[in-house]
Amino acid sequence: MMSRARSYLKRYAFPVLRETAHYLRFSAAKAHARRLQNVRFVGITGSAGKTTTKDLAAAILATQGSCHSSPMSKNYPDGIAQIILSVRPTHKFCVMEVSGGQPGELDRPMKIFTPEIGVLTLVAKDHFKAFTSVDEIAAEKSKLISALPAHGTAVLNIDDPRVRAIGESCKCNVLWIGEDRGATLRLIEARSSWPEPLTLKLEYNNEVYFAKTQLHGKHLSLSVLAALGVGIAADVPLAEAIAAISEIKPTEGRMQVVDGGEGVTFVRDDWKAPHWSLQSPLEFMADARAKRKIVVIGTLSDYSLSASKLYPKVARQALAVADLVIFAGPHALRALKARKDPDDEKLKAFTELEAVSGFLASELQPGDLVMLKGSNKADHLVRLYYDRQKPVQCWVSQCGIPDFCGGCSRLYRVSGSSAEGKPANTAKPLAKTGSGPHSVVVIGLGNPGEGFVGTPHNLGYQVVDQIAQDAGGSWVSTDNQISFCKIVLADQPVTLVKPEVPINRSGPVIRRYLEETGNNHDACVLAHDDIDLALGDVRVKHSGSAGGHKGVDSVISALATSQLTRIRVGFRLEQMGAKARDSVTRAFPEQVMAQVRQAVQSAALKVEAQVEAKNAELA
C-alpha cells in the first residue's frame, strides 16, 4: 500500500508541486527584475564555451563595479529565476549563461530579464536529440540575441555560418569576434602547447594585443574572445580587460589542470562529452609535451552513429594522439573493436569506474599527463582524481546527481552496504599462477537470497545447482562472498562457483577468487541469463560484449578481458514484450516452469561440453 502511494506521489503529485514552485519562482523573479533597472544584464548562450565565457566576462566587468554571475552552470529556466532573485539593485552588472537545451527553453528566461549585451558562441549538435536539426538549435539560441534592445550589443562568432546569419539580421549593434578578417576583435594566432598556457595574438581597431591566460587548449580562444567582446561592449578598455583575465583559473571541469600527486597531472574536461566536441581536447593532447600521454574517455553524447560504431572510431582517434587510451562506462567494451591485436595494451576498457581507478593506481608514473573526458552526470570521472588523494568510498554508477563530486557527502563516507570493499586489482587480465586438481571453474551468476529464487536473473545459479545435484556435490560457503562445490564432470575435477553478492557486482568477487586459486579466465565457463534469447534457447559465446547485462559487464571489466566462454540461457517470453527488462527479478510464471527446467538441463549439457574442451586446452 505504501509503495503504491509513493509511486502515485512520484508520478503525479511531485511533478505538479515542482511545476507550481517553478511558476511561483518565475513570477517572483519577474516582479523583482522590475526593481533592477540600473543593473546591466549580460546573457551568454551557445552550444559550447558558455561557462568559461561567463566566468571570464564576470572577472572583466568586476573591474568596473559590483558584478553578480551564475554559479557553475546554472543555466536552466528555474535556475535563472533563482539567480535573478539573488541580484540586488546595488549590483552594476549581472552575467548569466542561458542553455536552450530544449525547444522553447529560452522563452521563459527572456520574459524575466532583458539583456543589454548578448553572446552567442557557436551552434553545434549539443542537445541534438531534443531538436530535429541544427538549424532548430540555432533558432532557439537566436532568441537571446533577438531579445536585445536597439541600443544593446550582440557579441557574435563570425566564423560560425549560422551565428553569422543571425548577426546579419540583427537590429542592434554587433561586435564580431573570430579569425575572419571581418571580425571587430580578430584572432590572429592562438598558442597552447602543454605545459604552456593559452596565449592569443589579437587585433582590435588596427592595434595588436597579446593576451596570456591561465587556460589550456586552443579551442578556449573563443571563450576568451567572447569575454573580451563583452568588456568592449561595456566600455572596458581592451588592455584592462586582458589584464583582468590574465590570472583567472580554468572553470572546474573545463580543461582544468589539477595535480594528481607523485608527478602525475590530470586535465579535467569532464563536464560533458558531446561527440562533436571531442576533437578539441584530442588536439590539445597531440600538441602537449609530456613523458607519456593518457586519455580516459567516459560516456559520449549527441552522436548520430550507433554506439557500436562510434566508440571504436573514437578509440582510433584517441590512439593517434595518446600512448594509452582507457574507456570507462557501459559502452566501454565497444571501444575494444579498435584493437588491431587482442593483446594490444595501448587500449583498455572497463565498465566500472572503480576498476579504472585500480588500474591507474598501478599504471601511472611521474611525468604522465592524463586527460579525463566524459559526461559528469553519467560518469563522475573526477573520482579518478579524488581517489589518488584519499580512498573514494562511493563508486555508484549513474547516481543522477548533476554536480561534481567534490562537495558530495558520499564521496568518502564508508557505507555499510559496500560489503566487497576495495576491488581486486583489475589492471591486467589474470595470469594463471598455479594448477590444482580443480583447474576448470564453472561460474553461475545470480542474486543471493530467497526473494530471487526462480527469477530469470538466477538462471546462472540454477545451472550450477543442477550440475551439482546431478554430480552429488554439496555447496560450501566462504568468508569471501563465494559458495563453491567441487565435483567431477566429464571425468575431470571441476569447481562450481556462485558469487554471493548482487549480480551486478559479481566481477570483483570472481576476480579475487580466481587470484586466490591461481586460475585465470581461460579456465572459466560463465553461465548467465540472456534477455535477447527466447526461453529455451541456450547458446555458447566465447568473446564479445555483455550485450547490456550488467552482471556480465562487471565480470568482463574485473577480468579485463572479453575473451570469456559464456553459456547464455534465454528467458524472453512473447507476452513480456517491451517490459522484458523489468521482469529479470520476478519469478517465472508457473505455466513455463517446465520450459525453464528444460533450458537449465540443456545449459548444463553445454557446460559439460565446454568443460571437456577446456580440459583439452589446459592439458
Q: Which residues are catalytic?
A: 457
Name which of 242, 179, 177, 178 is nearest 214 in CA terms. Answer: 242
Listed residue (474, 478, 481) closest to 506, CA to CA:
481
Neighbours of 524 (CB within 10 A): 22
Those residues with Cβ within 8 angstroms of residue 347's Cβ, 6 or more apart along the chain or in another chain: 315, 319, 325, 326, 327, 335, 336, 338, 339
Residues 6+ apart with CB under 8 A from 568: 528, 529, 530, 533, 538, 539, 540, 541
CB-based contact 220:52 (threshold 8 Å): yes
Element housing 190 (H / E): strand 185-191
CB 462 within 8 A of CB 602: no
Q: What pairing do the DSSP bridges indicate for beta strands 40-45 and 93-97?
A: parallel
In eight-state DSSP terms, residue 398 is S
Strands 199-204 and 185-191: antiparallel
Residue 66 Cα to chain centre, angstroms = 36
Say whether 420 sits in a helix, a strand or coil. coil
Name 511's Cβ contacts closer than 8 Å, sequence gap at least 6. Answer: 423, 424, 426, 430, 558, 559
Q: Which residues pair with 301 in a beta bridge?
A: 274
The answer to whether 15 and 30 have CB atoms below 8 angstroms apart is no
How many whole angstroms separate alpha carbon 303 and alpha carbon 306?
8
